[in-house]
Amino acid sequence: MNPTPHGPVTLQAGVFDTLFPFHVAFDRAGLITRTGPSLSRLAERIRPGARLADVLEARRPDTLPDHANFSAMARRVVILREPLRDILLRGQLVPLGDDIAFLCSPWLTDADAIQRFGLSLHDFALHDPTADLVQLVQVQRLATADLQRLAARLTETRDHLRSQEAEARKLALIVARTGNAVVITDREGRVEWANEGFRALTGYGLGEARGRRPGDFLQGPKTDLACVERMHAHLARAEGFQEEVLNYRKDGRPYWVSLDVQPIRDESGNLVNFMAIQADITRRKELEFSLRESEQRFALALNATGEGVWDWDLRSDTVRHNQRWLDLLGVGPEFLVHDLARFTERIHPADRPGVLARVRDCLAGKGAYSSRHRMVRGDGKIIWVEDRGDVAQYDSAGNPLRMVGSIADVSERHVADESLRVQFGLARALSAATSLTEAAASSLRVICAEMHWSHGAFWAPSSEGPHLVRDTIHPPGAPAGAATLAATLAPGEGLVGRVWQSREADWAPGTGTETSGLIFATPIHAGERTLGVLEFHGSDAGPPAPGRVRTLAALGAQLGQFFERMRAEERLRRRGEELLVANTELARASRLKDAFLASMSHELRTPLNSILGLAETLAEGVHGPLNDHQTRYLGMVLSSGRHLLELINDILDLAKLEAGHHDLALQPCDLREICVASLQIIQPAARQRRQALAAEPPPPGIIVRADARRLQQVFINLLGNAVKFTPEGGRLGLRVTRSEHEVSIAVWDEGIGIPDEHLPRLFQPFVQLDSRLARGHGGTGLGLSLVKQFVTLHGGRVDLETAPGRGSTFTVVLPLPGPADPGNPPLPSPASSPAAPEPAAPEPLRAPPGPGPFVLIADDIGANTVAVADLLLAHGFQVATAEDGNDALRQIRERRPALVLMDIQMPVLDGLEAIRLLRQEPDPALARTPVIALTGLAMSGDRERCLRAGADDYLAKPASPREILARLRSTLAARA
Amino acid sequence: MVNKAIEDMVVARHGPDCWQTIKQKAGVDVEVFIGNEGYPDSITYSLVAAASETLALPADQILRAFGEHWVLETAQKGYGPMMRAAGSTLGEFLAYLPHFHDRVALIYPRLEPPHFTITDQRENSLVLHYHSHRPGLTPFVEGLIQGLAKMFSTPASVSLVSSRAGGDDHDAFLVRW
Q: Do B81 and A120 touch (CB under 8 A)?
A: no
DSSP H or E segment with residue B145: helix B138-151
pLDDT of residue A369: 92
Cα A680 to Cα A695: distance, rounded to the nearest angstrom = 9
Q: Is the pLDDT of residue A840 over 50?
A: no
Q: What is the largest CA-CA distance in chain A?
A: 213
**A72 inside 8 A of chain B by CB:** no
What's residue A157's pLDDT?
87
Q: Residues A417-440: what's their mean pLDDT?
A: 85
Give the pLDDT confidence score for residue A92 in this predicted structure: 93
Q: Does A156 touch chain B (CB under 8 A)?
A: no
The predicted structure's pLDDT at residue A485:
46
B107 neighbourhood in chain A, CB within 8 Å: 132, 135-136, 139
CB pairs under 8 A between A and B: 74
Burial class (CB in 10 A: 0-12, 13-18, 19+), A783: buried
Q: How far is B67 from chain A (nearest CA, A)?
A: 19
Closest CA to A824 of A695, A699, A705, A676: A699
To the nearest whole Å, the CA of A151 is away from the closest chain B CA by 9
> Looking at CA atoms only, how far is residue A153 from chain B in angstroms?
8
Cross-chain CB nearest to A153 (options B32, B88, B100):
B32
Smallest CA–CA distance, residue B92 to chain A, in Å, is 9
Angle at A807 between CA A803 and CA A810, to 5 degrees: 90
- A168 CB near a chain B CB, below 8 Å? no
* Contact criterion met (CB < 8 Å) for B81 and A153: no
Please tell me the distance from the alpha carbon of residue B87 to that of residue B67, in angstroms, as a whole number: 19
**What is the average per-residue pLDDT within A360-389?**
88
**More confident position, A694 or A769:** A694
Residue A637 has pLDDT above 50, yes or no: yes
What's the pLDDT at A464? Answer: 79
pLDDT tens by residue, A268-283: 788 999 999 988 988 8
Looking at the predicted structure, is the pLDDT value of residue B163 above 50? yes
Contacts of B35 in chain A (CB under 8 A): 139, 142-143, 145-146
Please check the confidence at residue A133 and state whether its pLDDT lies above 90. no
Q: What's the per-residue H, E or C state across A581-597?
A: HHHHHHHHHHHHHHHHH
- How far apart, in Å, are the Cα atoms of A164 and each of A151, A172, A489, A562, B44? 19, 12, 99, 94, 32
Looking at the predicted structure, is the pLDDT value of residue A841 above 50?
Answer: no
| Residues sharing a CB contact under 8 Å with residue A454, sequence separation 6 or more, in sequence order | A448, A479, A515, A516, A537, A538, A539
Measured between beta carbons, the chain B residues lying within 8 angstroms of A120 are 85-88, 92
Cβ–Cβ below 8 Å for B79 and A120 = no
CA distance A681 to A672: 14
pLDDT tens per residue across span A714-748: 898 899 889 888 888 899 999 999 888 899 999 99
Residue-wise pLDDT for A817-832, tens only, equals 765 444 444 444 333 3
* CB-closest option in A135, A143, A149 to B82: A135
> How far apart, in whole angstroms, are the C-alpha atoms of residue A708 and residue A665?
8
Averaged pLDDT, A276-295: 83
Q: What is the pLDDT of residue A515?
A: 64
Mean predicted lDDT score pLDDT of chain A:
82
Look at residue A301 in the predicted model and tell me its pLDDT: 66
Check residue A804 and give its pLDDT. 86
Upstream peptide bond of A958 is cis (omega within 30 degrees of 0): yes
Q: Do B35 and A139 make contact, defined as CB atoms within 8 angstroms? A: yes
Q: Do B36 and A142 touch (CB under 8 A)?
A: yes
CA distances from A857 to A153, A561, A571, A849, A960 (A): 139, 77, 65, 17, 16
Instruction: Over range A145-158, report the average pLDDT.
Output: 88
Q: For residues A93 and A113, is the Cβ–Cβ distance under 8 A?
A: no
* pLDDT for residue A770 is more than 70: no
Best interface-test mutation with A: which of B23, B36, B76 has the largest number of A CBs within 10 A? B36
Split at pLDDT 50, 70, 90, the class of B7 is confident
CA angle B155–B159–B165, rounded 5-degree value: 150
Task: Give the one of B85, B104, B107 whose C-beta lies nearest to A120's C-beta.
Answer: B85
Rounded to the nearest angstrom, the minimum Cα separation between B62 and chain A is 24
Residues of A with Cβ-Cβ distance to B30 under 8 angstroms: none
Picking from B37, B81, B84, the nearest residue to A110 by CB comes out as: B81
Give the pLDDT band of residue A79 (cuts 50, 70, 90): very high
Question: Quick check: A115 contacting B, CB < 8 Å?
Answer: yes
Q: Is the per-residue pLDDT at A23 higher than 70?
A: yes
Cβ contact, residue pair B78, A138, below 8 Å:
yes
Does the structure show a pLDDT above 80 at A352?
yes
Query: Which of these ranges, A38-42, A200-204, A911-915, B70-74, has the smallest mean pLDDT?
Result: B70-74
Is A929 in contact with A918 (CB distance < 8 Å)?
A: yes
The B-side interface with A (CB below 8 A) comprises 31-37, 78-79, 81-82, 84-88, 92, 96, 99-100, 103-104, 106-108
The pLDDT score that the predictor gives to residue A827 is 46
CATH topology classification for B82-176 = H-NOX domain (3.90.1520)
Chain A residue with the nearest C-alpha to that of B106: A132
Q: What pLDDT score does A839 carry?
A: 36
Question: Mutation test of the interface with chain A: which of B19, B21, B32, choosing the one with the most A Cβ atoms within 10 A?
Answer: B32
Which residues does chain A have within 8 Å of residue B81's beta carbon, measured at their own beta carbons? 110-112, 114-115, 138
Facing B35 at nearest CB: one of A115, A121, A143: A143
Question: Which amino acid would we find at residue A506?
Answer: D
Q: Residue A766: what pLDDT?
A: 58
- Mean pLDDT throughout A166-173? 84
Distance in angstroms (rounded) separating the CA atoms of residues A371 and A384:
10
pLDDT of residue A760: 78
Contact residues, chain A, for B92 at CB < 8 Å:
120, 122
- For residue A848, pLDDT over 60 is answered with no
- Is the CB of B32 less than 8 angstroms away from the CB of A138? no
Going from N- to C-terminal start, the domains of chain B cover 2-66, 82-176
Lowest mean pLDDT among A434-438, A866-870, A896-900: A866-870
Confidence at residue A529, expressed as pLDDT on a 0 to 100 scale: 82
pLDDT score for A783: 79
Is A233's pLDDT higher than 90?
A: yes
CA nearest A126 in B: which residue?
B99
pLDDT tens digits, residue range A172-198?
Answer: 877 777 778 899 999 889 999 998 889
Q: What is the mean pLDDT of residues A636-657?
A: 74
End-to-end, the C-alpha distance of chain B in Å comes to 26
Q: Which of A111, A122, A153 sits opposite B31 (nearest CB)?
A: A153
What does the DSSP 8-state code read for residue B73?
I
Report whether pLDDT(A919) > 90: yes
Q: What is the pLDDT of residue A663?
A: 66
Kindly list the residues from chain B whose CB atom is less than 8 angstroms away from the CB atom of residue A143.
34-37
CB contact, 8 Å: A141 with chain B?
yes
| Element holding A615 (H helix, E strand) | helix A546-619
In degrees, rounded to 5, the angle at the alpha carbon of residue A777 between the alpha carbons of residues A776 and A783 is 140
Mean pLDDT of A80-88: 91
List the single range of A141-150, A863-872, A890-899, B70-79 with lowest mean pLDDT: A863-872
Is any Cβ of chain B less than 8 angstroms from the Cβ of A122? yes
In angstroms, the CA A426 to CA A445 distance is 9
Cα separation, B31 vs B23, in Å, equals 9
The top-scoring range by mean pLDDT among A90-94, A317-321, A429-433, A594-598 is A90-94
**Does the pLDDT of residue B64 top 80, yes or no?**
yes
In chain A, what are the domains?
13-128 (3.30.450.260), 178-280 (3.30.450.20), 313-409 (3.30.450.20), 414-578 (3.30.450.40), 663-844 (3.30.565.10), 852-976 (3.40.50.2300)
User: Is residue A134 over pLDDT 60?
Assistant: yes
Q: Is the pLDDT confidence value at A849 over 60?
A: no
